[in-house]
Structure 1
C-alpha cells in the first residue's frame, strides 16, 4: 500500500454489527476511511427486514443496546421492532456514520489480491443494475445470520393461488380480515405473530413442526420516574445495565450438562416452564405443546400472548405434516385444507454464513469451500479465518451467546477487530494480518469440545447444529469470558507481514508506563527545577 494513502476499509452490512464497528471507529479511534455497503434500502439489518406484527426482542431493552449509546427512553422492558429500529437510526446519526453508508448496494464477491495485498470487492447497485469494483486493504463482514429466510421446502407452493409469504417478508397489504390462514412453524417468530393472525383471521390453522419450551414474558412499561432517573443519574443507568448483564449471564449454567448443580437448575427451570404452559395453554394441546427434550436445547420462547391466543375457538393447532400445496390450499398427511393465505414462519439460513456473498482467500477458495474442508464453519475466536488475510467477521461462527445480548457480543468483536487489525494497519505496525491455521484449528477444537457437553447436543433438532451435528453458532461460555478472550490479540497466533514490524503496546503496559512517568514527575518536582524537561523527554521516548 502507498505510504501516503490511509488504508481503506470496506464493511459489509449496516445492521447491529456494522453500526457498532463504524460508531467505535469514528468516536473512539478517529478513523474515517471506511465505507459500509448495505444491500437493503435502510439500515438496521434484521430490525429493518422483520416487520411482521408483534415482532420484538426477548432481551431487556437496556441490555439490548450499545454500551456507548445508552437510551434512557425505552418504553418497555422488551422493546418492539419500530422502537429498536429508531434507536439504531438514532445511533447512526448521533455518531455521524450515515455519510459512510451506501444503501441498496449488494456485495457480490470479494477476492484477496496477493500481489497487491488488498481486497477487490465486486458490488451491484440494485437500483441502477450497475456492477462495479472497489478496492480496500481491509474487509469486515457484519452480515447477520437472521436475514435470509429459508426457502420453502414444501412442494407445489408456486401453484398456490392465495397469498403466501415468509414472516420476515411480511405482506402488509393483506390484513387477513375474514380469511382462512395457515401458519407453518411455531418458533419465536410464529409465537409473536400468532396473536395478530388470530385476532384478524376468520380461521387459523397452525402447523407445529416440533414442540417448544415457552416461558412467561412480563413486559411492563417504564414509568416517567424511572426514565428520569436513567437520564439524569448516569451512574444509576450504568448500574442497572450491569445488573441486567450479570443476572442474564448467570443463566449460562442452564445450558451446561457437566455438573449436578447445572442439571438441578435446569430441572427447576424446566418445571417452572411446564407449569406456566399447563396453566396458560388449552388443556387439549398440552400433549403436543410440551417438549420431551431438555429446556434450552431449542431457543426458548418468551410468551408474547401466544398460548392465550390458542384458546380462541377459530384456532386449530396441529402436528400434521404439510405434504404439498395445491391451488386452493394444502394437503397434509391426513386431509386437505382450503386456505386464503399462508404464513411461512420456517426460520432462516442460519448455517449459511455470509450467503450468498463469495469471499475468496489466498488460494481462490470461497469461505464455504474452506469450511467444507474443515468439516464445518469455524473462525479463530469467532472472528478470523486462516487463508483470508485482513478479513474479520462480526457475528461469525460460534459467536452467538444464547443466554445474553447479541449486541454485547457484536461490540466485543468490533473492538477486537479494531485492536488486532484496523488500528495496527492504519498505524503501519504491519500491512497484512492472517491467523495461523494451527491456531484456528486449536481454538475450534477447544470450542467444539466444550459445546459437546452442552444442552444443544442433547438430542433435539435445532438450528445451532449443521448437517453433520457440529454446533457452528453458539459460544460455549459466559460472555465475560468472551470479552476476556477478545480483549487483546495473541500476536503469536498470527502471521504478520509488512509495515514497521512493531506491535501495538498492550493497554496495561501503556497505563503502567504512564503511572511510572507520573510518579517520577512528582518526585522530581520536589528536588529539581528541570523535572518538566525530563518528563517531556521520557514521554517522547
Structure 2
C-alpha cells in the first residue's frame, strides 16, 4: 500500500495496520486539508501548515477572484479597521509602516497580500471556486466536497481528511428586509458590495443603519454629497474621546518603528495591553462600567451639541452591549446642517425613496444600505455530518459550538471564529492564531496515529453552552439592545462572544482537552506504535 493511502473502513484497517507495522511510531500518513476561504484565517492556516507539516496536501477554495476576504470585499468610503492597526497583525509578522492608527481597507489588504507573497501561500489557493456542499463520509472517514467553479460554470468534486471553514462570520452580507426595496429607481448600494463607479458628488444620499460601516461612511462622504438623510432605528455608543480618534503617523514616527524593532514592539504591547485591559467594562454594574457610562454620555453630548439628537442617539443601556466603534467625526457630521436624521424603522421603500414610521416619504437619489451581515453562524451551503444531519438545521435556533471551533456530530471539521469566539473581547488576530495552533494539534494526531475521526462530545458542548449562558447573565451583552452578538436580536442568547477575556481564551485553548473529544479508530488504536522504532532512531539510520 502506498503511504498516501489511508483506508478507514473496517475492511481495510488490517491493511493499514500492516503498513504501520513496518514504520516507526508516529509515522506521518498523507493528510489532505481543504480550507474554505482565503481571507486572513485561511492564509494563516496555510502558513502554519506549510511551516509545520510534511506529507500534506492543502487547498484553499476562495469564492472571490483574489485573496483577502472581508478586506477585498469591503471598499466603501471610510472603510477601515476599528481597532489599532499595529495590533491587527499576526504576532510573528508585525508591520511597522502603517500609515495611520486605524488603517484603511486597502492598506490592510496589502498587508495580507504581502504576507501571502512572502511565504508563497498563493500556490494553495483556487480562486473563483465556491464550496456548495460538504458531506461527511463515515465509511471512508473523509469529507466529500462539491465546489462550483465560478469561472467555468462547472462543478468540482473533491475530498479531504480535514475540512476547515475559514469563511468568517462577517461574510454573508444582507439587504434589509424592507418592503419595496427592489422598487427603488435610483442607485441602490450596499456597503459590503460597494460600486466604486458610482459618483456621489452633489447627490442626495439616503443611508440606512448606524452600525460600524455607517459610522465610518457618513463622515467620509459628507463633503461629496449635497445632503444625507440617514435612517436610524436605535441608539449606539460612539468612542468619541481624543484617545480613540484617528491619528496619521508622521514620517518620523514610522521611521522610528521601522528602524527600531524594540520601540515598535513596546508600542504594540502598549496598544494590546490597552485592548486587553478593557474587559472589566463588559461586566454589568462594575465600577469601570459605571464610570465609562458617565464619561461616554458627557463626551457624546459634547460632540453632538444637539438636545434632540442626544435623546435619540445616546443609549440608556450599558456601554458595550453592542459593538463600540471609534467614530471619528461621526457625531459632529450627524449634527451638521447637511444631515437629516430620521429615527425609527422604515415602513417601505418606494421608487423615489423611503417612507418612515411617520408615514412621510423622503426622496433620495442614491440609497446606501449599511445593514450588515447574516450573523447566525449557519453555513451558507449544506454541511452534512453524521447521520445526515445538516449543520444549519442543527443550529436553526442557536449556534452551539465547542470553544468556537467545532461542532458535535461533525467529525474532522473546524471553523475559525465560530460561535462564542472572542470576537469582541479584546485583540482578535491573536485568538485566531491560537485557534490555528489548536487545530494543528488535532491534525497532528490524525496524521500520526491510527485515528479514523474525531469530534467534540455532545455533553462537552452542552456543558460549555451551559457555562457560557450562566456567565453572560452578569455581562452587559445580555442587556436589551439590538446586537449582532445576539444574531441581531434584542433579547436573544449571546452567540458571538466568548465568556471571558481574550487572554482567558488563550489560556483555555492552549492545550486540547482530549477528554472532551470522541475518537474513532481504524482497527487497533495502538497500531501506530509500528515497528518498535522511534522517529529518532529512524532518522539516525537514514543519515548514518
Query: 1:350 maps to which residue?
Result: 375
Pair 3,451 (structure 1): closer, same or farther in 2 beyond 3 Å? farther
Q: Please report the TM-score for the alignment, with normalisation by the length of structure 1.
A: 0.88
Higher mean C-alpha displacement, 388-397 vs 217-226 = 217-226
Alignment of 1:185-204 (within 5 A): 185-204=209-228
Query: 2:273 maps to which residue?
Result: 246
Query: 2:4 maps to which residue?
Result: 4
Q: In 1, distance between residues paired with 2:53 and 2:329?
A: 44
**Alignment counterpart, residue 398 of structure 1, candidates 402, 413, 420:** 420
Query: 1:268 maps to which residue?
Result: 291
Pair 502,229 (structure 1): closer, same or farther in 2 beyond 3 Å? farther
Q: Does 1:57 align with 2:84?
A: no
Q: In 2, distance between residues paired with 1:320 and 1:490?
A: 48
Post-superposition offset of 1:371? 2.2
Query: 1:431 maps to which residue?
Result: 452
Q: In 2, distance between residues paired with 1:321 and 1:389?
A: 43
The CA deviation string for residues 385-434 of structure 1, in whole angstroms up to 9 with x for no partner, is 111111111110101331322212211111110112x2222223523112
Partner SS, residue 205 of structure 2: strand
Q: Does 1:445 align with 2:466?
A: yes
Post-superposition offset of 1:327? 1.4
Post-superposition offset of 1:56? 0.5
Kindly indicate whether the alpha-carbon contact (under 8 Å) linking 2:321 and 2:476 is maintained by their aligned counterparts in 1.
yes
**Alignment counterpart, residue 58 of structure 2, candidates 13, 34, 42:** 34
Post-superposition offset of 1:318? 1.6
Kindly indicate whether the alpha-carbon contact (under 8 Å) linking 2:73 and 2:193 is maintained by their aligned counterparts in 1.
yes
Q: Does 1:416 align with 2:443?
A: no
Q: In 2, distance between residues paired with 1:40 and 1:76?
A: 28
**Alignment counterpart, residue 326 of structure 1, candidates 350, 374, 380:** 350
Alignment of 1:28-177 (within 5 A): 28-30=52-54, 32-177=56-201
Q: CA RMSD in A?
A: 2.2
Instruction: Give unmatched runs, 5+ long, in structure 1.
Output: 505-532
Q: In 2, distance between residues paired with 1:139 and 1:159?
A: 41
Kindly indicate whether the alpha-carbon contact (under 8 Å) linking 2:175 and 2:369 is maintained by their aligned counterparts in 1.
no
Q: In 1, distance between residues paired with 2:328 and 2:525?
A: 55
Kindly indicate whether the alpha-carbon contact (under 8 Å) linking 1:10 and 1:138 is maintained by their aligned counterparts in 2.
yes
Query: 2:246 maps to which residue?
Result: 219
The CA deviation string for residues 153-182 of structure 1, in whole angstroms up to 9 with x for no partner, is 110111111011211111222222222111
Query: 1:480 maps to which residue?
Result: 503
Q: In 2, distance between residues paired with 1:68 and 1:30?
A: 21
Higher mean C-alpha displacement, 390-399 vs 236-245 = 236-245
Post-superposition offset of 1:4? 2.9
Kindly indicate whether the alpha-carbon contact (under 8 Å) linking 1:105 and 1:125 is maintained by their aligned counterparts in 2.
yes
Post-superposition offset of 1:279? 1.2
Kindly indicate whether the alpha-carbon contact (under 8 Å) linking 1:162 and 1:328 is maintained by their aligned counterparts in 2.
yes
Pair 293,2 (structure 1): closer, same or farther in 2 beyond 3 Å? farther
The CA deviation string for residues 280-320 of structure 1, in whole angstroms up to 9 with x for no partner, is 11414211111111111111121122112124322111204
Give the number of equivalent residue pairs. 500
Alignment of 1:462-481 (within 5 A): 462-466=483-487, 469-481=492-504
Query: 2:18 maps to which residue?
Result: none
Partner SS, residue 108 of structure 1: strand
Q: Does 1:456 align with 2:477?
A: yes
Q: In 2, distance between residues paired with 1:503 and 1:381?
A: 30
Q: In 2, distance between residues paired with 1:304 and 1:26?
A: 40
Pair 413,503 (structure 1): closer, same or farther in 2 beyond 3 Å? farther
Q: In 1, distance between residues paired with 2:370 and 2:245?
A: 24
Post-superposition offset of 1:76? 1.4
Post-superposition offset of 1:32? 4.4
Kindly indicate whether the alpha-carbon contact (under 8 Å) linking 2:41 and 2:416 is maintained by their aligned counterparts in 1.
yes
Q: In 1, distance between residues paired with 2:159 and 2:125?
A: 16
Post-superposition offset of 1:502? 6.0
Partner SS, residue 110 of structure 1: strand
Alignment of 1:381-392 (within 5 A): 381-392=403-414
Partner SS, residue 464 of structure 1: helix
Kindly indicate whether the alpha-carbon contact (under 8 Å) linking 1:25 and 1:31 is maintained by their aligned counterparts in 2.
no
Partner SS, residue 33 of structure 1: strand
Kindly indicate whether the alpha-carbon contact (under 8 Å) linking 1:119 and 1:136 is maintained by their aligned counterparts in 2.
yes
